[in-house]
Amino acid sequence: MQEISKVHFGGRGSAARGLHFMGRVVALIVASTVAGSAGAMAQEPVRTEPVVVTATRIEEKVSEQASSVSVVTREDMERRSPSLAGDVLQGIPGVDVQRTGSLGGLENIKIRGGKSTHTLVMIDGFPVNSPSSGEFDISSLPVDGFERVEVVRGAQSALYGSNAMSGVVNFLPRKGEEGRQFGAGFSGGSFKTLQWSGFGQGAGKGTNLHLGVSGLRSDGILPNDDTDLFSFVGSGETSVGERNRVHMIALSTNEERGIPIDDRGPDPVARRKRRDVLGGLRWETVVSKSVRLSVSGAGFDEFLHVSEPPHPSLFGSSDFRVKTRKTLFRVEGSLSASPVSTTFAGFEFVEDRAKNDAVFRFPPFPDFVSNVSASTYNRSYFLQEELRFRKRTGVSLGARLDDNSEAGTKFNPKVAVFHQFERVDVTLRSAYGRGFRVPTIVEKFDPTSGNPGLSPETAISYEAGADFRPKGTRTVVSATYFYQDFRGLIQQGPPTVGHPFGQLQNVGRAFSRGVEAQATWWFHPAVGGGISYTYTDTGTKNASPAIAAITDRILGIPQQRGTASLLFSPSPRLQAQLDWRIESDQYEFGPTDFLPGRRPGNGVVNAHARYAWAPAGSEVREIALTMKVQNLLDHDYEERKGFPSPGFNFLLGAELSI
């Protein structure tokens, strides 16, 4: 394990010592827990174990999964007062979420050393990766309208098809609760940041509805760094007769933001506008006690406009517009022949459309104009068998055949197994799977570097892990070893006569392997602790000689990262959390770089608190005061190379529900 660079905190310590300290704490928690401090455990605040549906399509407890799964619950979100989706994914083992600068900066999800295009992002089970870029930027996605976030690590293409090479992240919306309830929240703080939200919800007689709106404005930390976000999330369900149920979701996000740094350097005039719209419908029918059928349809539209207008201090200008649409239709059935076996089979059709228009001006040279407009479709058939033996042993067998109009046919299997040793509260699990990613429309048809002959990228994934979950407690200790072999990665080829900037080719190959470890333990009824740590060793083959001379690691992936947390719950009213997040250096391209460079390691301390109470004898259900302090030690650092992150900043707020 290579030594990582030092990162100072007020002149003390280093990232290496910090990560070593985290390792000692994990070992201490394991030893103390296994030693059996049963009295302390019995006093822990016990809550229901989260359930997950993304890993197997069956709603099961996290402890009954063969794959590596993490769930961010609504309680977790409320305690941390997140502004955007990326905030709730921090600290999850194996997951990298890095923001380009301040709030609203580009933010993507990478899992286990894969690229952001290797992570499938879903909202309520509907895929939202862009047909143009292949990834999903979560920088404008709110969290107020979501009940939980499920993260499944490892190749999942046997279940979900393209892009699920390294893992899947599924944002599941909130449901209306019994009766009627309305609420609003407002907060403000550093950099003239204002954040607001409102919701209305209700449920009764087989129907529930939740509607929410939110907005955020901030001046940022640099000139032309302002952000203005508005979002709407609505979801509802209703029964149709005794056997049918209809589920609906609607989401809309609007963003307008300055771009303080781009490929021209510090930029006082560049702007970005973005709008995403999702609409989805799912009809579920109970045919019999053992047979269920569901039919789903969704449409996801993306509009993006990036403008870099002329400016006296800058060379060149550009205007870039993207308009995409993803249309999905899915039919799925399940058969529960016995308590041991549940079989799923289905068909899915996805059509991707993209239109990219770009103009680049570098006087006195002629304008360069690029127009890409194309569509692709994908038909897939999937089969999955879930076996549960005596509720202690589970086997997942899956296979999926995808037929893409441009990339051909791909077959992807998955096998996963777990066994619970009830006497010692230990679960052993392992999984194998294959994943793939279809080339995007731009990669295929862009006139400068596109290649119509590109094949899908592929990955082979292995993992083995163990979990220790003592009954009646919230103590969790887990560790997982993973290995991923990436093949046919799409990279820029050398310049040719017809392609002076090079043409994209399936020439890349890489691997990532490492260990994910996590421990959570309440060592007092009011005080708990948590540690997560990820070590990721990566390597590349067939990289360009210029890049290979600098590093052989996958770009944009830190080798080590970890989070240490203290959780405080002295009463049901008060919830607080203190996080120390730390990561090692990484190599990546900065906004004006021709070759990758080193981004130093960093560490940051954040604090969160929420105090809530219900006034007696009032129609007000709850009043809550929230506090979030980020970069408590005012450390200078960058999450992404070339983009400074905010220094000490805070956000204070209040929430009201009636």
Q: Give the dihedral sign, CA 567/476/76/119.
A: positive
Of the candidates 433, 441, 440, 493, the one whose C-alpha atom is nearest the C-alpha of residue 458 is: 433
Mean pLDDT of the chain: 89
* Mean pLDDT within 57-77: 85
In a domain, 1, yes or no: no
Would you say residue 15 has pLDDT above 60? no
Average pLDDT over residues 265-294: 96
Q: What are 444-455's pLDDT values in tens digits?
A: 988 888 899 899
Whether residue 339 is predicted with pLDDT greater than 90 in this model: the reply is no
pLDDT score of 12 more than 70: no
Share of the chain above pLDDT 70, in %: 93
Q: Is the separation of the CB atoms in 436 and 410 below 8 Å?
A: yes
- pLDDT (mean) for 463-478: 89
d(CA 72, CA 149): 5
Asked whether residue 512 is domain-assigned, the answer is: yes
- The parent domain of residue 131 ranges over 15-178+187-266+275-310+319-657
Separation CA 48–CA 37 (nearest Å): 21
Average the pLDDT over 277-302 and give the result.
Answer: 96
The pLDDT of residue 543 is 80
At 560 the pLDDT is: 96
More confident residue, 34 or 213: 213
Q: What is the pLDDT of residue 34?
A: 39
Q: What is the average pLDDT across 453-472? A: 92
305 in any annotated domain: yes
The whole-number pLDDT of residue 109 equals: 96
Q: How confident is the model at residue 499 (pLDDT cuts 50, 70, 90)?
A: confident
| CATH code for the domain in which residue 640 is found | 2.40.170.20
The pLDDT score that the predictor gives to residue 14 is 44
Please report the pLDDT score of residue 47 as a whole number: 55
Flag whether 358 is in a domain: yes
Distances from the Cα of 506 to the Cαs of 435, 509, 512, in angstroms? 16, 9, 18
Tell me the mean pLDDT in the region 221-239: 96
Residue 624 lies in a domain: yes
Average pLDDT value for residue range 197-221: 94
Kindly report, residue by residue over 603-622, the tens digit of the pLDDT. 999 999 999 999 887 788 89
- Does residue 414 or residue 177 have the better pLDDT? 414
Which residue has better confidence, 335 or 43? 335
Please tell me the total count of domains within the chain. 1
Report pLDDT for 337.
Answer: 85
The pairing of strands 167-173 and 119-123 is parallel
Under the banding of pLDDT at 50, 70 and 90, the label for residue 492 is confident
Look at residue 524 in the predicted model and tell me its pLDDT: 87
3-state helix/strand/coil string of 338-358: CCCEEEEEEEEEEEEEEEEEE
Of 649, 625, 525, 527, the closest CA to residue 78 belongs to 625
**What average pLDDT does this structure show over 54-73?**
82
Specify if 21 maps to a domain.
Answer: yes
CB burial of residue 250 (10 Å; 0-12, 13-18, 19+):
middle
- By the 8 A CB rule, do 658 and 180 touch? no
Residue 52: the pLDDT is: 77
The mean pLDDT of 640-650, rounded to a whole number, is: 95
Query: Which of these ranges, 40-54, 168-182, 545-559, 595-609, has the smallest mean pLDDT?
Result: 40-54
Average pLDDT for 425-441: 94
Does 501 map to a domain? yes
The mean pLDDT of 61-90, rounded to a whole number, is: 88
Percentage of residues of the chain with pLDDT beyond 90 = 73
> What pLDDT, on a 0 to 100 scale, did the predictor assign at position 248?
96
pLDDT of residue 359: 94
pLDDT band at 32 (very low <50, low <70, confident <90, very high): very low
In this prediction, residues 81-103 reach a mean pLDDT of: 92
Q: For residues 131-160, b (16+ Cβ closer than 10 Å) or e, as one string?
A: bbbbbbbbbbbbbbbbebbbbbbbbbbbbb
Would 395 be classed as within a structural domain?
A: yes
What's the gap between Cα 470 and its chain centre? 29
The residue with greater pLDDT, 44 or 311, is: 311
Average pLDDT over residues 376-404: 92
Per-residue pLDDT, 121: 96
Asked if residue 48 has pLDDT above 70, the reply is: no
Question: DSSP states of 121-180 as a string?
Answer: EEETTEE---TTTSS--GGG--STTEEEEEEEES--HHHH-TTTTSEEEEEEE--PPSEE
Asked whether the predicted pLDDT for residue 7 surpasses 80, the reply is no
Burial class (CB in 10 A: 0-12, 13-18, 19+), 355: middle
Higher pLDDT, 327 or 408: 327
Closest to 631 (Cα-Cα) out of 561, 582, 576: 582
- What was the pLDDT predicted at 51? 76
Q: Answer yes or no: is pLDDT of 24 > 60.
A: no
All residues at 6 or more sequence positions from 60 whose CB lies less than 8 Å from its CB, including other chains = 51, 52, 53
Residue with tokens 């989260």: 50
For residue 151, pLDDT over 60 is answered with yes
